[in-house]
A and B are shown apart, each in its own frame.
Chain A
Amino acid sequence: MITLNINGKEMSVEVAADTPLLWVLRDNLKLTGTKFGCGMSLCGACTVHMNGQAVRACVTPVSMADKANVVTIEGVAQSPTGRAVQQAWKSLDVVQCGYCQPGQIMSAVALLEGNRSPSDSDIDRAMGGNVCRCGTYVRIRAAIHEAARSLALRAGS
């Protein structure tokens, strides 16, 4: 039995310790917002936060998440940064097929939590592990800058 803290809620699952967190989230806990794209830490579709860090859930054994605070796309709106990023994503209509976007948003939130005004090269570094096959990169970049602006505005007011 493994006890997880997901989006602020305690949850217990009966799975093998080496099961990737991704499949526990999706198949056991029915939190299907976190996506499967490659299973090899190559695409970022499965990105979640573990104790504030962006991690690839497809290569994270669930045992590593034991006692950690995990945040998924379903819970990201609990933080002001999460809300600002989602809002920027909506106001710029970043999404196309949308399949990569939960992972993109989780990576963007982790970036902004640590860096309130990221440069283009900061964005390239932090978002380099998230593939968007639809090619929404122009808007992802713009939306991160937009979210940074709106967070700065809020902090200033």
Chain B
Amino acid sequence: MSRSIVNQSRRRFLQGAAGLTLAIYFPWPLAQGAVGQEQAEAFEPNAFLRIGEDDSVTIVAKHLEMGQGTYTGLATILAEELDADWAQVRVESAPADASRYNNLFWGPAQGTGGSTAIANSWEQLRKAGASARAMLVAAAAAQWKVPADDITVAGGVVSHAGSGRQATFGQLARAAAQQAVPEQVRLKEPGEFRLIGRHIPRKDSDDKVTGKAIFTQDIQLPGMLTAVVAHPPRFGATVKAYDAKPALAVDGVVEVVQIPSGVAVLARDTWSAKRGRDALVVEWNEAAAFNQNSAQLLEHYRELARSPGQVARQEGDSDVALAKAARTLEAEYDFPYLAHSAMEPMNCVVSLTGDGCEAWYGAQSQTYDQTVLAELFDLAPAQVRIHTLYAGGSFGRRASKNADYSLEAAHIVKAIEGRAPVKLVWLREDDMQAGNYRPMFHHRLRAGLDAEGNLVAWQHRLVGQSVLGGSPFASLIKDGIDPASVEGAASLPYRIPNLRVDLHSPEDGMVPVQWWRSVGSSHTAFSTECFLDELAQAAGKDPVTWRLAMLGEHPRHAGVLKLAAEKAGWEQPLPAGKEGERRGRGVAVHESFSSFVAQVAEVTVQSDGRFHVDRVVCAVDCGVAINPDVIRAQVEGGVGFALSAALREAITFTDGKVEQSNLHNYELLRISEMPTVEVHIVASASAPTGIGEPPVPPLAPAVVNALAAATGKRIRRLPIGTQLTS
């Protein structure tokens, strides 16, 4: 991890704290004014809501909007209990202030991830909305001299039927502000919902179809310089020497500075900075740098998989059961490093001000980033004011485990002694080669069937780098088990009497790894659900009914599996393809982040092995469906994202160098490859859970099982690439 520029002592300090605790900060008045709040609003009952006399209802979102629809979801929850009119609601990003805006699942830390935004905000925002509503009602009751119980609220209007009196939120705002905040509020019963569960428009569509949405890349500040950085060609390499002159000779280039992660070229605009970096001559010290090939790494992982690892789950005696089984099967699965490759490459704007530092970017771990930047500038964390902007995608990348891109921007500002605000721009190549990848993994599975075809033994060994190690969440690693490595494997839901799951976490790799949309489930769903499919075939059973028979204690898994199979017409034969085409259908089910998703994929394979995924039928159970249309969008998008990875994505190394640099050699899914996606949502009264990540895990196994059904060939190495054609 020598590419990491995180200071070890701070890391230990963070890890030493209990649970997910990062640090405790005190509210700092300046941070509260950070978001453009021009006119004082009449009614601010809590940190999440402001109501103006102009009837505007502003909901303050503590979570990053990176495409998952969280602005819409958070606003829906609050507006529901407030009984606001959806059209009057606007959303604003919260300042970085963990005392008010912490993620309730992460202790005193503000941040977005693990599909927790809606789940952790559910009670909080319902109460925020309901208590504001109660204050508006109390204000009306006092003005009209009528009992509060006789007052109704709908669509942003407070009414008293008996007297025929009515007032808008804006008209009552000042009086409501004088009311006491209620200690107890009644929350709605699901039958009373008017926004939740309905199709209402996203709050960010307008800005995003007109080009008005402001992303980090779009920030322009007076006197701002744009920085492009020459990064080392290998992880762990450092700057030996550099010649700034050719860079400085480029028109528009203002300054060249060395920083811990490379050499930064600062210019008046992005193109000049890029040309300056192209001209810059840097000599690297690569003696201690990463120098392995992907094949060597895989060989090493295979070697490790031959010996037992740390046990993550054990039931019965799987060794004995395997020895006694009527039939045993074994399979190995390989997964590459993956880049997040958000459409907006990582970037960050940092400015030193008289009393602290300001940063503008799609911040995903505000509290952690504040700590890191504060330490660099020798400030109190609260003096780091973060303006959280729209992020052009993240998929886990922006919640940088070592604050790599924001810290790099800060280092540049420090190197020029704060003379100008700096926008750090990573070009696509920087983004792709910067690391923090989904780790490479090798899985080895063995299973035993008895004479009746029942699954009696299961052994699953995983080998791959820990993503939580070295992160603010490292304290979750217990007894050598990183839960993010084994999630989905250790939590296998099927009733199998003898089972063992164990893990090797090689620490000698120098490739920085990080969470990537659906984290451990991005590989564990594949190996478990593909192997299950092979076993069902070996046992001569139908993959759906066989799974269902083992899911007795997991009704929500069973529920989505049944629904997906029914909607896909699993019982009916798949319509045949054209002459020479082979068609197949495959299924997978997986729980991640407390949401349940099953998918049935249909594929058509040409005689030469090229194939197309035609249709994916999805059933999801994520508790109360707050915005069904946003859920559908996340499932559609998750299918596209997962299919992209399954088809072609891989980060590979030659002599320690990343072989991929841009979208010609790290190819993302195109529109012609996108299947039809059908989404069915299970009606549920359970508390809502996430939907950003859960649609991803089942897709690759469903597709690969469909390919096996069509061709008889089992693909056990991702990406699928040309394995069917060659």
List residues of chain B with CB within 8 A of the CB of A93.
Answer: 201-202, 205, 629-630, 633
A135:B68 contact, CB within 8 angstroms: no
List residues of chain A with CB within 8 A of the CB of B208.
Answer: 95, 98, 101
Bitwise interface map of A from 103 to 115 toward B, beta carbon under 8 Å scored 1, else 0: 0010000000000
- Known contacts A37-B344, A93-B202, A105-B209: A135-B674 contact under CB 8 Å: yes
List residues of chain B with CB within 8 A of the CB of A97.
Answer: 66-67, 342-344, 390-394
Bitwise interface map of B from 622 to 634 toward A, beta carbon under 8 Å scored 1, else 0: 0000000110011
Within 8 A of B (CB), among A81-103: 86, 89-90, 93-102
List residues of chain B with CB within 8 A of the CB of A45.
Answer: 343
List residues of chain A with CB within 8 A of the CB of B670.
Answer: 128, 131
A116 within 8 A of B: no
Give which listed residue, A102, A133, A135, contacts B636 with CB less than 8 A.
Answer: A135
List residues of chain A with CB under 8 Å of any chain B CB: 16, 19-20, 23, 26-28, 30-40, 42-43, 45, 72-74, 77, 86, 89-90, 93-102, 105, 123-124, 127-128, 130-141
For the complex of A and B, the 5 pairs showing the least CB-CB separation, nearest first, are A33-B211, A135-B640, A99-B392, A97-B67, A98-B208
B120 within 8 A of A: no
B209:A42 contact, CB within 8 angstroms: no
B671:A141 contact, CB within 8 angstroms: yes
- Known contacts A43-B343, A131-B668, A138-B677: A38-B428 contact under CB 8 Å: yes
List residues of chain B with CB within 8 A of the CB of A23.
Answer: 269-271
Complex Cα distance, B664 from A96, in Å, reads 24
Where chain A touches its partner, the secondary structure class is loop
- Known contacts A73-B211, A99-B215, A139-B636: A35-B677 contact under CB 8 Å: no
Q: How far is the CB of B253 from chain A (nearest CB, A)?
A: 13
A74:B211 contact, CB within 8 angstroms: yes
B124 within 8 A of A: no
A96:B201 contact, CB within 8 angstroms: no
List residues of chain A with CB within 8 A of the CB of B636.
Answer: 135-136, 138-139
Bitwise interface map of B from 659 to 689 toward A, beta carbon under 8 Å scored 1, else 0: 0001110001111101011000000000000
Give which listed residue, A16, A32, A86, contacts B209 with CB less than 8 A.
Answer: A86
B251 within 8 A of A: yes
Output the nearest chain B residue to A38 by Cβ-Cβ distance: B428
List residues of chain B with CB within 8 A of the CB of A89.
Answer: 205, 209
Give which listed residue, A33, A43, A100, A134, contacts B212 with CB less than 8 A.
Answer: A33
Complex Cα distance, B391 from A113, in Å, reads 31
Complex Cα distance, B212 from A30, in Å, reads 12
A132:B640 contact, CB within 8 angstroms: yes
Output the nearest chain B residue to A88 by Cβ-Cβ distance: B209
Complex Cα distance, B644 from A105, in Å, reads 22
Complex Cα distance, B220 from A26, in Å, reads 10
Given contacts A40-B428, A95-B204, A128-B672, 15 further A-B pairs with CB under 8 A are: A26-B270, A35-B215, A39-B274, A77-B210, A86-B209, A95-B67, A98-B213, A99-B343, A100-B392, A128-B671, A131-B343, A133-B342, A135-B638, A136-B636, A139-B636
Within 8 A of A (CB), among B239-281: 251, 269-271, 274
Within 8 A of A (CB), among B333-350: 341-345
What are 30 contact pairs spanning A and B, CB under 8 A? A26-B270, A27-B226, A31-B211, A32-B218, A33-B211, A35-B343, A35-B392, A37-B428, A74-B210, A89-B205, A93-B633, A94-B209, A95-B204, A96-B68, A96-B633, A96-B634, A97-B67, A97-B344, A97-B390, A97-B392, A98-B213, A99-B343, A99-B344, A131-B343, A132-B343, A134-B67, A135-B643, A136-B637, A137-B669, A138-B674
List residues of chain B with CB within 8 A of the CB of A96.
Answer: 67-69, 393, 633-634, 637
List residues of chain B with CB within 8 A of the CB of A77.
Answer: 210
B378 within 8 A of A: no
List residues of chain B with CB under 8 Å of any chain A CB: 66-69, 201-202, 204-215, 217-218, 220, 226, 251, 269-271, 274, 341-345, 390-395, 427-428, 629-630, 633-634, 636-641, 643-644, 662-664, 668-672, 674, 676-677
A139:B210 contact, CB within 8 angstroms: no
A133:B668 contact, CB within 8 angstroms: yes
Complex Cα distance, B218 from A95, in Å, reads 18
Complex Cα distance, B211 from A73, in Å, reads 6
List residues of chain B with CB within 8 A of the CB of A127.
Answer: 671
A136:B633 contact, CB within 8 angstroms: yes
Give which listed residue, B207, B393, B630, contacts A133 with CB less than 8 A.
Answer: B393
B209:A95 contact, CB within 8 angstroms: yes
List residues of chain B with CB within 8 A of the CB of A34.
Answer: 211
List residues of chain A with CB within 8 A of the CB of B643.
Answer: 135
Give which listed residue, B393, B662, B671, B677, contacts A42 with CB less than 8 A.
Answer: B662
List residues of chain B with CB within 8 A of the CB of A38.
Answer: 428, 662-663
- Known contacts A27-B271, A35-B344: A134-B210 contact under CB 8 Å: no
Q: How far is the CB of A107 from chain B (nearest CB, A)?
A: 10
Complex Cα distance, B214 from A31, in Å, reads 11
List residues of chain B with CB within 8 A of the CB of A26.
Answer: 217-218, 270
Complex Cα distance, B636 from A94, in Å, reads 11
Complex Cα distance, B390 from A101, in Å, reads 13
List residues of chain B with CB within 8 A of the CB of A128.
Answer: 670-672
Q: How far is the CB of A7 from chain B (nearest CB, A)?
A: 11
